[in-house]
Amino acid sequence: MPETSSYRPIDPATLEYDDEGTPFSVTYGDVYHPTAGAAGQARHVFMTGCGLPEGWRGADEFVILETGFGLGHNFLATWEAWRADPQRSRRLHFISVEKHPFGADALAQVHARSGISPDLSRQLCAQWPLPMPGFHTLHFDEGRVTLTLLFGDALEMIPEIRAQIDAIYLDGFAPGKNPDMWSPAVFATIAKLAHSNTRIATWSVSGWVRTCLAEAGFLTDKIPGFGGKREMLSGRAVTATTRRAAPRDRRAIVIGAGLAGSSVAERLAARDWQIQLIDSAPQPAQGASGNIAGAFRPLPSADDGRIFQLTRAGFLYGLRHLQALQAAELRVRWSGCGVLHIARDIEQEAKQRAVVESIRAPQDFVRYVDVAEAGRIAGHAVAFGGWYFPKGGWINPPSLCMANIARYPGLITGRFGQRVARLQRVANLWRAVNETGEVIGEAPVVILANAVDARRLSLADWLPVRGARGQVSHIPAQSVPALKSVVCGQGYVTPAVDGFVPAGATFFADDESTHLRLGDHLENLDKLNRMLPGYAADYPTQQLGGRVGQRPVSPDRVPMVGGVPSVVSGKGYDPVTVPRAPGLNVLTGFGARGLVWCSILGEQLASSIAGSPAPLPYSLSERIDPARFLFRRVRSVAAVPEI
């Protein structure tokens, strides 16, 4: 698996209309829906053609794949029908590919004219993602409805899906206008996601489409069409693959109540799982997640390397998660004050400018600012220009942990001041046992989210996770100028929180000391004054307070997320076939990027455990799989610089 892939910026669609007032694509020379109406087509062609709503009744989760999101009518009509059905599935997951997404304003304009529920349209537009490539996962109706948007080319996006699909909406512009969307390659990839009860429907009755579908393993029939179109296709997959059953015992033990543990606990609770959250500390977020504030921003690169992919996905998903917690009236302390990433010298400044020009990201995501504009944003002179993330900011990690734990009352039970001495496998259950031999938790699933301490426990002693000491210095707010934004680069500093300006952080692998050090304070102030010349030049270092945390890091600085292998050698296996300890999972290795990674990776692991479609592409899931260390040699953690 290559470490990087080509970055392909998204070209959004422009809303135009034909002479009859129907939304029209100049690029493809075709309308987005028939004149008779998008909502009517959604209900007749796609829902009826796929046997809905009857098909989802009695299901735990029903998963739909659509090949062209367009203006979102099919999703909104399906969501509306699902809501109205008292016998609906417990959850609805809708996956849709779109190469040229519209903006939220265009969607709202069209929906207002199409008879779609205004309430559902408003909810969709409120969460609508920036036009950035990759997967974008949106949650609605208290997490019972999930929309995963795949922005990019269908030929590249659909192979990245790992899910069992119950219904397939083949939509998009006419085969003659956009043949790639209706190609044998697309249909063959879709067929791999089907099971024996998967239904498929499309308005196209083209002989080419019927032949390609048959060759891919779909049996279709012509049935009456919609809106003046005499016929449409409806059919099912011809395969021996059966639908995987959802887990019946929805209980899990999560060991560790920091950012990792609280995030995956919240995501499982959203699926109605009962969570036993165990931590040896007297309350959550007492380890590396206990700092008063940390920077929240992605890390771009000109290629689409895994760090950019992960931080981009984590940043965009994390923003929606923060907003959802606030909408639930849970008190997360954070500020979207923006983040400046200042270059360390003229050469890096030029590279940062080149990255912004290369990726052509929306300015709401990142833009380059020169030294003068950066100084105005920060509220203090800066050494160089750099990246500016307008939607970035700072987060108080303990408040995020507490909000996650409180999100679904009654589903997460905290067991604090309890140290898990060992794990025992009894029949189909794991037991967490303390030092006296008392069972403090029992469940079919265990998640090791306890940083480096995970290596003490069963089958995890081989994991190459190491501790890295990080000291943050706390500068009294009245002693330094007030900042308007977070500033980072060689280090980081945030605006004042709780009367202090936190600046840091040092990074020393395999240093277990938890005491404050004068030398570390000097290092933090040196990095701070190089980013912001003269900012804290005269502050007496001996009076500084601070905090030390042990951050878990992997050798390649990428998190470990997934099932724990039950072997310690990859010989004779690959990441798909390597044996896994049943029900045993790990979520660690966040390093200094826990705030940007915790929410998306909590959802990633929860999806894997519950059997739901993942929020990350498969190629990226492989790169965070703990089993990767069985198959390749990696660089030493000390050789990879922290940014």
Q: What are 560-569's pLDDT values in tens digits?
A: 999 999 988 8
In this predicted structure, what is the pLDDT of residue 36?
80
pLDDT-derived band at 2, boundaries 50, 70, 90: very low
- From the list 590, 502, 582, the residue with the least C-alpha distance to 259 is 590
Average pLDDT over residues 22-34: 91
Q: What is the pLDDT of residues 117-167, one digit of tens each?
A: 999 999 999 999 999 999 999 999 999 999 999 999 999 999 999 999 999
Integer angstrom CA distances of residue 174 from 30, 232, 517: 7, 13, 67
The percent of residues above 90 in pLDDT, for the chain, comes to: 89
Q: Taking each helix axis from N to C terminus, what angle separates 104-114 and 118-127, rounded to the nearest 10 degrees?
A: 170
Q: What is the pLDDT of residues 389-401, one digit of tens each?
A: 999 999 999 999 9
Question: Which domains can be identified in the chain, with CATH numbers?
Answer: 16-237 (3.40.50.150), 251-287+398-444+557-628 (3.50.50.60), 339-390+466-553 (3.30.9.10)
Does residue 227 surpass a pLDDT of 90?
no
**Start-to-end Cα distance in the chain:** 24
Please report the DSSP string for 221-233 in residue order. Answer: EEEE-STT--EEE
In this predicted structure, what is the pLDDT of residue 115?
83
Q: What is the pLDDT of residues 179-214, one digit of tens each?
A: 999 999 999 999 999 999 999 999 999 999 999 999
Angle at 582 between CA 576 and CA 586, to 5 degrees: 75
In this predicted structure, what is the pLDDT of residue 643?
41
pLDDT-derived band at 4, boundaries 50, 70, 90: very low
What token pair was written down for 92? 């609805």
Q: What is the pLDDT of residues 583-636, one digit of tens each?
A: 999 999 999 999 999 999 999 999 999 999 999 999 999 999 999 999 875 444
127-131, 453-457, 590-594, 637-641: least confident range: 637-641
Give me the residues paired with residue 472 across strands: 547
In this predicted structure, what is the pLDDT of residue 633?
55
In this predicted structure, what is the pLDDT of residue 5?
58
354 preceded by a cis bond (ω within 30 of 0): no
What token pair was written down for 202? 């499309």
Strand runs (DSSP E) across 67-178, as ranges?
91-98, 134-140, 145-151, 165-170
Which amino acid makes up residue 423?
Answer: L
Whole-number Å distance between alpha carbons of 357 and 112: 36
Average pLDDT over residues 487-502: 96
Whole-model pTM: value is 0.96
Average pLDDT over residues 396-417: 97
Does residue 526 surpass a pLDDT of 50?
yes
Q: What per-residue string of b and e applies to 452-483 under the rule 16 or more CB within 10 Å gives b?
A: bbbbebbbbeebebbbbbbbbbbbebeebeeb
In this predicted structure, what is the pLDDT of residue 635?
44
Whole-number Å distance between alpha carbons of 88 and 144: 11
256 Rama sector, left if φ>0, alpha if ψ -120 to 50, beta otherwise? left
Integer angstrom CA distances of residue 359 from 78, 104, 367: 34, 21, 10
In this predicted structure, what is the pLDDT of residue 485?
98
Q: Which helix (H) or strand (E) holds 357?
A: helix 346-359
Q: What is the mean pLDDT of the chain?
A: 94
Are 525 and 473 in contact by the 8 Å Cβ rule? The answer is yes
Whole-number Å distance between alpha carbons of 36 and 45: 12
